[in-house]
Structure 1
Amino acid sequence: MPSSKAEILGKPLEGWRLRLYTIIFEADTRAGRLFDQVLIAVILTSVAVVVADSVHSINLAYHHLFTPAEWFFTLIFTVEYLARLACVRHPWRYVLSFYGVIDLLALLPTYLALLVPEVGALIDVRVLRLLRVFRIFKLTAYVSEYQAIGQALRASRRKIAVFLAAVLMIVLVIGTLMYVVEGPANGFTSIPTSVYWAITTMTTVGFGDITPKTDLGRLIASLMMLLGWGTLAVPTGIVTAEMTYARRAATTTRTCHVCLTEGHMPDARYCRHCGASLPRYEHDGAAQE
């Protein structure tokens, strides 16, 4: 079954494609770290140009500079996007992935602006690409905690769903009760409006656009406010318990060549997501500090 195996694994990574992959998709080498740092600077600068161009007075004075600058940034992102496609095993899998779509959206507005000028304002979407390269600052504590929170949320999703269902029942009952107690004369014109008040009160937001006028209504509102303080602690406790239970070892930016899953341990031999064999871990001391 060699053909089916090749279809699963995609194009092999070796030579310049492997070196390019390590630089673009990982950040544990000096070159990979430098690549991400430069990319962050380019992204922030390009977004700043778009924001400044939207200011009328600045646009009048420097519009002749903004247009070529935007095309310069777009060409850089185009080359980077093509380089990503050239060095991955499954180009279409990358194109259809979340970050692949974000990368493409960073390019399309400028090219589409040639046909529809109003689309140019959508160039700001490329700021979302900072999600990919945020790891470059090597704040390993923040990266590992982010991953830990994500795993804790996934592990506790059933408990959180039950908690949210309980909160929904409470606000529905209290909202209906307030509709009966206060009535349309005091702003509680319908049960949905009363439920809206119950939600804003329980979450301690309290916009103040609807307030109870009767003594019984104020008593119920007081109980809702106190209940809100206790309610806020429940999901926090659930997630914290899961994070305590699932302590994780430090990971790296090491990425699987097949499914592009990131965060494998330095001594891992197989991908924790798809099971594919991982290549030798490329890193250097400067990038790990």
Structure 2
Amino acid sequence: MRFFDPESRPKHGWRARVYSVVFETDTPAGLLFDVLLLVAILLSITVISLETVTFFEVRHRHSLRIIEWILTGLFTIEYIVRLAIVREPKRYIFSFMGMVDLLSLLPTYLSLFFSDTQSLQIIRALRLLRVFRIFQLGRLQSEGGTLMRALMMSRYKIAVFLGTVLVIVVVQGALLYYLEHGVNEGFSSIPRSVYWAIVTLTTVGYGDISPVTVGGQFIASLLMLFGYGIIAVPTGIVGAEVAINEFTARIDARLAEQVVIQEHSKDSCAGSIPAFAIIEGPLDAGVTTRSRERT
């Protein structure tokens, strides 16, 4: 399984051998390299997280910084090696994982000149996406592609749905503002009332703002009930598109299989009709020995 564009793979020489280790998992060395890389990424994320805990930061600040700089040095060497072995370094730099690899290095070096940039190193968590390559989870990648296609196919329906929700929360927020602002300081403006409508419609219910008038409480009750129903709408839209895509894919696969079988039958009979196609019923039912041999 390849992580990068196969066209960037060197044809021969030491670069091709190193490429098979750094970018591929088809060899034991490549698999071991990726496992060790994931371990280093997890260790780096752990160190970054511990640096935000006061207890660990006070007692082990120096050790954590040393570990972080060692890991950053290793990641820097890895990034340089990747650039050195690909045939087109620019394509790797501007690829998704290439950008992630670069951005995961910058915060450590920027911390030498700017404060509070160390925590940005948590972007290294995105490098854990390589786990899909290491365990060769092609099936999961295929399912992810199916879900993405379903989202793209239903984007207009979802856009209409979100537009409708936006109109609802604006109208409800404005209505609650006129009902509540005179007796409830929580509804001090229409934007704040719209915020309340969004929180209520999504059934989150922070409780920082709540209506006190009878009319406001009645509208809030309707909005909460409506929220339970509206949550299922995008799920149904995307679910229907996924089902359609799965059904279409299965039909296409069966049609392709039938075409292959037909082509194979024609090739095996030099383009003529296969002998078995003109024989009906069991062989013992009036079929001569010559017909059996030919069949």
| Range class of TM-score, shorter chain | 0.7 to 0.9
Residue identity matched to 1:200: V
Report % sequence identity. Answer: 51
1:166 aligns to 2:178 (yes or no)? no
Report the Cα offset of residue 141 of structure 1.
Answer: 4.6
Residue identity matched to 2:90: W
Q: How far apart, CA to CA, are the structure 1 residues paired with 2:128 and 2:9?
A: 28
Report the Cα offset of residue 197 of structure 1.
Answer: 1.3
- Unaligned 5+ runs, structure 2: 1-5, 251-295
Larger radius of gyration between Structure 1 and Structure 2 = 2
1:217 aligns to 2:216 (yes or no)? yes
Partner residue, 2:179: 181
Q: Matched residue of 1:209: which SS? A: coil
Q: Name the TM-score, length of structure 2 as normaliser.
A: 0.71
Residues 156 and 238, structure 1, Cα contact 8 Å, conserved in 2: yes
Of 91, 111, 134, which residue of structure 2 is paired with 1:93? 91
Residues 135 and 143, structure 1, Cα contact 8 Å, conserved in 2: no
Partner residue, 1:123: 121
Q: Name the TM-score, length of structure 1 as normaliser.
A: 0.72
Report the Cα offset of residue 203 of structure 1.
Answer: 0.4
Residues 34 and 134, structure 2, Cα contact 8 Å, conserved in 1: yes
Q: Matched residue of 1:107: which SS? A: helix
Partner residue, 2:11: 14
Partner residue, 1:6: none
Q: Matched residue of 1:207: which SS? A: coil
Q: Cα deviation per residue 1:153-211 (whole Å; 9 max; x = unaligned)?
A: 12211111111001111111222222223334223222212211111111001111221
Q: How far apart, CA to CA, are the structure 2 residues paired with 1:64 and 1:196?
A: 45
| Greater mean deviation of Cα atoms: 172-181 or 133-142 | 133-142
Q: Which aligned pairs between 1:120-269 and structure 2 lie closer than 5 A?
A: 120-186=118-184, 187-247=186-246
Specify whether residues 27 and 148 from structure 1 end up closer, same or farther in structure 2 by C-alpha distance, changes over 3 A only: farther
Q: What is the aligned-residue RMSD (CA, Å)?
A: 2.7
Q: With CA pairs under 8 Å and 6+ residues apart, which has the higher RCO, 1 or 2?
A: 1
Q: Matched residue of 1:213: which SS? A: coil
Residues 184 and 190, structure 1, Cα contact 8 Å, conserved in 2: no
Specify whether residues 10 and 30 from structure 1 end up closer, same or farther in structure 2 by C-alpha distance, changes over 3 A only: closer
- Unaligned 5+ runs, structure 1: 1-8, 250-289
Partner residue, 1:275: none
Residue identity matched to 1:98: F
Q: Cα deviation per residue 1:37-80 (whole Å; 9 max; x = unaligned)?
A: 22110101122223334445434544453343223212221122
Report the Cα offset of residue 214 of structure 1.
Answer: 2.1
Q: Which runs of 4+ in 1 moved over 6 A?
A: 9-12
| Greater mean deviation of Cα atoms: 116-125 or 96-105 | 116-125
Report the Cα offset of residue 134 of structure 1.
Answer: 4.2
How many correspondences in the alignment?
241
Specify whether residues 58 and 222 from structure 1 end up closer, same or farther in structure 2 by C-alpha distance, changes over 3 A only: closer
Q: Cα deviation per residue 1:76-113 (whole Å; 9 max; x = unaligned)?
A: 21122122212333211221233222211222233334
